[in-house]
Chains A and B, each alone.
Chain A
Amino acid sequence: MIAETGLAALWLAAALSLLQLLLALGYSRGAMGGPAVARPIAITQGVLTLLSFAMLIAAFLRTDLSVALVAENSHSAKPWLYKFAGAWGNHEGSMLLWVSVLAVAGAGIALFSKSLSERMLVATLGAQAAIGLGFYAFLLFASNPFARLDPAPLEGRGLNPLLQDPGLAFHPPTLYLGYVGLSVAFSIAVAALLTREVGPALARAMQPWVLAAWILLTLGITAGSYWAYYELGWGGWWFWDPVENASLMPWLAATALLHSVNVLAARGGLRAWTMMLAVLAFSMSMVGTFLVRSGILTSVHAFAVDPQRGTFILVLLSLYIGGALALFAARVGTIREGARFAIVSREAALVANNLILSVILGIVLLGTLYPLLVEAVTGEKLSVGAPYFNAVAGPLALILVGFLLIGPRLRWRRDGEPLLGRIAIPALIVVGALLVSWIAAPQIGLLPRFGLAFAAALAFASIAPLFGRNLKRAPLSLWGMVLAHFGVAVALAGMAAESAFTQETLAVARIDDRLKVGPWVVRLAKLEPVAGPNWTAIEATMRASRGEGAVVLKPQTRTFTDPPTQTNEAAIHTGFDGQLYAVIGRQDPNGRWQVRLWWKPFVTLIWLGGVLIALGGLLALVGRQWRQRGVRRRRREAEEWA
C-alpha cells in the first residue's frame, strides 16, 4: 500500500503540474483564473510530492523488499539512519527528491512571493510547472521509484558502504535544495521575459530565492568536500571529479547571479545580464543532473543506469535550456536599458566579478565535458583532472579575489575617491605577505604563496566596509556581506596552507614502531578486530604526540558483507592549527602494516570558510527580508492614512 500511495501521489502531482501550466497559458490569453487558482494548485502539488517522498522513506525504513528499489539498495541489517538516508542514495530516489524540491519551491513561490505582480506570479508558476512536467515524466516513465518486485527477495542487496555515513543524511538534500532552488530564479526570469516585466521589482522577488539557494549550495558543497576528505581516505578535499564540478558550476553561476541581482534590485542596472545569469544558473543545475544521473561518468555518485535515461534527461535539458535561451534572444531587445555607471564604481566591480566567475565557469564546464566530446568525436578516451583545473582556474580565482579587495568599498554609480587610495592598503598587505612568505617558507609553490598573500589582504579588506560606520546602525545585510567575504579569505587561507605545508609519511610499521610526520611522532600501539552493525574491521590504535601529551587515533579498514566491500576509515585529530590524518592499509608479506599519515596545517579553515560564507548569506537574507517587511508595512500604513 505504501508504494501505491506514493505512486498515486506522484501521478496526481504530475496532473496538477499539467493543470498549472495550462492555467498559466490560458491566463496569459485573458482566460479566467489567476493567482486565486494557481496558488492552491502549486501548494497542493508541493504537498503531494512530499507525501510521495515520505512514502518512499517509509518503504526504506521498513525495508519493504517487494519494492524493487528497496531490494536493490537496502538491507534489513543496516542502521536506521542509512535506511532513511538510503532512500535518496540511489538513482530513482534521488530523482524523486529532486522533483519534490522543485514542487516545494513552486509552493514556496505561491506562498511567499508577495511582491510579484499577478501576471508575473501566474507566469512564474507556469514556468515552474513546465520544468516539473518533464521531470515527472522522467520519473514516472523511466525511473519509477515505486516499481514492485514479484516475488520479493529474502534480503536486499545493500547500500554502497562509501555512502553509509551520516554525511548521506545531510549532503544530498542540502545540495538538491540549492540546485533545484535555482529553478525559481529561472522561472521568474522566464516569466519576466514572457510578460516583458524585466525590472527592479522582479529582482527583489528573485533575490531571496537566489540567496537561499546559494546558501544551501555553499553548505552542500562544503559538507560534500569534508565528507570526501574523511571518507575516501585520500587526504584530499577536492578532486575535480566531474560530479564535484557538477555542483561547483551552478554555485559559480549562482554566485555571479547573487551579485548581479543586487545591482538590478538596488540600482536598476544589468537587466539583460541578470536574466541571462538566472537562466544559466539553473541550466547548470540541469547539466549537473544530466552528468550525474545519465551514467556517463565514473563516480560513486553515478549509480549504474541504463543509457536510455541519459537520452531522456539530455532531451529535457536541451528543451528547457534551448527554449529559455531562444526566449531570451527573442525578448532581449525589449529589455529596457538599465541605469548607467562609471568605470570606477561598485557596479563596474560587480561586472568584473560576474565576468571572471563566468570565465571560471566556462573553464570548468569545458574541462568537464571535454572527455565526453573527445570520446564522442574521435573515440579516444581521456580524463581531465586537477592539473588542468588548478593551472587554469586557480590564477583566475586569485584575480577575482583581487577585485574583491577593492570592489565592496567602491560607491554605486561613480566612485569619487582616487583609486590609488582604495588599492594602497590591500596592495601593501599583499606585497608584505609575499615578502614574509619568501623569507619564512622559500620552498612553497607560486599559487599557494599568492593564495596566502591574497587571503591576508582579503581578511583586512573584507571588514573595511565597516570602517567609519556606526556599527550598531550598520544594516544586517552589510554584516552579511562582510562575513561572507571574510569567509572567502578564511577558506582561501586554508586551501593555500593545505597545499603549501602538508606533510605526508607513507611507511610500514610493526607494533611499537614510531613514525614521524611534521611535528608529530606517531606510535602504532595495537591492532585489534572490531565489529559494527553491518561490518567487521581491523582497528589500529595509534598514539601521536608533539612535545607533551598524546592523542589517540583509531583508523580502521572495514569489511562490509552486503555488498562485499572494504573501506578505509581514516582517523583524524583536529588541533587549533591543523589536522593529523591517519589511514591504516594492509599487512605486507613480512607482517608489517602499511600506515599513511598526513599533517595538514590549517586545513580546517577551508570548511570553516565555507560555513562563514553561508552564514554571511544567511545574515544578508534575514536582514533584507526584515527591511522589505518594514518597507511594505510603512507603505500599507501610508496608504491607510491617505
Chain B
Amino acid sequence: MMARPKHQRLVLVVLALAALLGAVLLAMWGLKDRAAYFYTPSDISSAAPNRAMRLGGMVDKGSLTHDPDGVTIRFTVSDGVARVPVTYRGIVPDLFREGSGVVAEGSMVSGAFVADNILAKHDERYMPPQMGDLAAEHRAAKTLKR
C-alpha cells in the first residue's frame, strides 16, 4: 500500500485539484437556487413565487396596519412606480417607519410578499448600500413623474 514518493506527490496533487473542483461544483449547485435576489416593487412581478428574495423600497405613508394578534403588521412598499403588499410577523426594527426605506427578506406568496426579516437603516453611517441606491432611485423616479 505504500506509495512511491513521486507517485504519492502526484496523488496528493490530484486530490487537491479534485477538492478544489469539488468545492466549486458544490458551491455552484448550492448557489443556483439558494441565492436571494434583490427586487424592487416594479420588477418583483417577474420573480418566481416561494423563492427566498429581498424586496427593497419605501414604506407607503398611511399603509401600515396592525393585526389583532399584535405582532403581525401589513404595509405596502413602493418605488414610486409600483407597490407591493407586505406582511410581517415579528418585532420590527426601531427605525422602521412609514415613509422611510426598508429592505425585507422573504418570498412572494400568492401576490403578497411574506417577510421573515425586516432590515431598516440604523443611521446615516450604518445604512446598507442597497438602501442608499434605493433612496437615489426613488428621488429620480419622483422627478421623472413630475
Inter-chain CA distance A392–B125, complex, in Å, is: 34
Q: Is the CB of B2 within 8 A of A564?
A: no
Question: Given A273-B12, A358-B19, A381-B38, do A583 and B30 touch, yes or no (CB 8 Å)?
Answer: no
Inter-chain CA distance A557–B91, complex, in Å, is: 12
B99 is an interface residue with CB less than 8 A from chain A: no
B146 is an interface residue with CB less than 8 A from chain A: no
The 4 closest A-B pairs by CB, nearest first: A508-B70, A362-B23, A566-B94, A381-B38
Question: Given A383-B38, A506-B89, do A342 and B1 touch, yes or no (CB 8 Å)?
Answer: yes
B26 is an interface residue with CB less than 8 A from chain A: yes
Besides the known contacts A337-B5, A337-B6, A340-B4, 5 further A-B residue pairs in the complex with CB atoms under 8 A apart: A359-B19, A374-B35, A382-B54, A506-B89, A596-B90
Q: Is the CB of B126 within 8 A of A388?
A: no
Question: Given A340-B3, A340-B8, do A160 and B91 touch, yes or no (CB 8 Å)?
Answer: no
- Our pick among B9, B12, B92 for the contact of A351 (Cβ within 8 Å) is B12
Hey, which chain B residues are within 8 Å of A341, CB to CB?
Answer: 2, 8
Q: Is the CB of A298 within 8 A of B128?
A: yes
Hey, which chain A residues are within 8 Å of B38, CB to CB?
Answer: 380-383
How far apart are B79's CB and chain A's nearest CB, in angstroms? 14
How far apart are A398's CB and chain B's nearest CB, in angstroms? 14
Binding site for B on A (CB under 8 A): 160, 162, 270, 272-273, 296, 298, 300, 303-304, 337, 340-344, 351, 355-356, 358-363, 366-367, 370-371, 374, 380-385, 387-388, 391-392, 396, 414, 506-508, 557, 563-568, 583, 585-586, 588-590, 592, 594, 596
B111 is an interface residue with CB less than 8 A from chain A: no
Question: Given A160-B126, A337-B5, A506-B71, do A384 and B23 touch, yes or no (CB 8 Å)?
Answer: no
Most buried by A among B8, B35, B90, B105: B35
B140 is an interface residue with CB less than 8 A from chain A: no
Inter-chain CA distance A585–B94, complex, in Å, is: 9
Question: Given A303-B125, A304-B126, A414-B1, do A588 and B66 touch, yes or no (CB 8 Å)?
Answer: yes
Binding site for A on B (CB under 8 A): 1-6, 8-9, 12, 15-16, 19-20, 22-24, 26-27, 29-31, 34-38, 52, 54, 66, 69-71, 89-92, 94-95, 105, 122-130
Q: Which B-chain residue is minimally distant from A344 (CB atoms)? A: B1
Q: Is the CB of B128 within 8 A of A304?
A: no
Q: Is the CB of B16 within 8 A of A273?
A: yes
Hey, which chain B residues are within 8 Å of A300, CB to CB?
Answer: 122, 126
Q: Is the CB of B35 within 8 A of A565?
A: no
Hey, which chain A residues are within 8 Å of B105, CB to CB?
Answer: 383, 385
Most buried by B among A340, A344, A594: A340
Most buried by B among A296, A359, A586: A359
Q: Is the CB of B91 within 8 A of A388?
A: no
Most buried by B among A342, A380, A392, A565: A392
Q: Is the CB of A382 within 8 A of B37?
A: yes
Hey, which chain B residues are within 8 Å of A383, CB to CB?
Answer: 35-36, 38, 54, 105
Q: Is the CB of A594 within 8 A of B71?
A: yes
Inter-chain CA distance A547–B47, complex, in Å, is: 50
Q: Which B-chain residue is minimally distant from A381 (CB atoms)? A: B38
Hey, which chain B residues are within 8 Å of A565, CB to CB?
Answer: 94-95, 122-123
Q: Is the CB of A507 within 8 A of B69?
A: yes
Inter-chain CA distance A583–B24, complex, in Å, is: 40
Question: Given A359-B22, A508-B69, do A298 and B129 touch, yes or no (CB 8 Å)?
Answer: yes
- Our pick among B4, B29, B36, B122 for the contact of A382 (Cβ within 8 Å) is B36
Question: Given A273-B12, A340-B5, do A367 and B27 touch, yes or no (CB 8 Å)?
Answer: yes
Q: Is the CB of B35 within 8 A of A384?
A: yes
Q: Is the CB of A414 within 8 A of B2?
A: yes
- Our pick among B2, B24, B125, B130 for the contact of A340 (Cβ within 8 Å) is B2
Q: Which A-chain residue is minimally distant from B34 (CB atoms)? A: A388
Inter-chain CA distance A566–B95, complex, in Å, is: 8
Inter-chain CA distance A296–B4, complex, in Å, is: 49
Q: Which B-chain residue is minimally distant from A384 (CB atoms)? A: B35
Hey, which chain A residues are within 8 Å of B2, CB to CB?
Answer: 340-342, 414
Q: Which A-chain residue is minimally distant from B5 (CB atoms)? A: A337
Hey, which chain B residues are within 8 Å of A568, CB to CB?
Answer: 91, 94
Q: Which B-chain residue is minimally distant from A270 (CB atoms)? A: B12
How far apart are A279's CB and chain B's nearest CB, in angstroms? 14
Q: Is the CB of A359 within 8 A of B26?
A: yes
Hey, which chain B residues are within 8 Å of A358, CB to CB?
Answer: 16, 19-20, 23
19 contacts between A and B (CB under 8 A): A304-B126, A337-B6, A340-B5, A340-B8, A341-B2, A342-B2, A359-B19, A370-B27, A374-B35, A384-B31, A391-B30, A507-B69, A507-B70, A567-B94, A568-B91, A585-B91, A586-B92, A589-B66, A596-B90
Inter-chain CA distance A612–B75, complex, in Å, is: 47
How far apart are B56's CB and chain A's nearest CB, in angstroms? 8
Hey, which chain A residues are within 8 Å of B3, CB to CB?
Answer: 340, 342
Q: Is the CB of B94 within 8 A of A381?
A: no
Q: Which A-chain residue is minimally distant from B73 (CB atoms)? A: A588
Hey, which chain B residues are within 8 Å of A588, CB to CB?
Answer: 66, 70-71
How far apart are B67's CB and chain A's nearest CB, in angstroms? 9
Q: Is the CB of A590 within 8 A of B30?
A: no
How far apart are A341's CB and chain B's nearest CB, in angstroms? 8
Inter-chain CA distance A557–B93, complex, in Å, is: 11
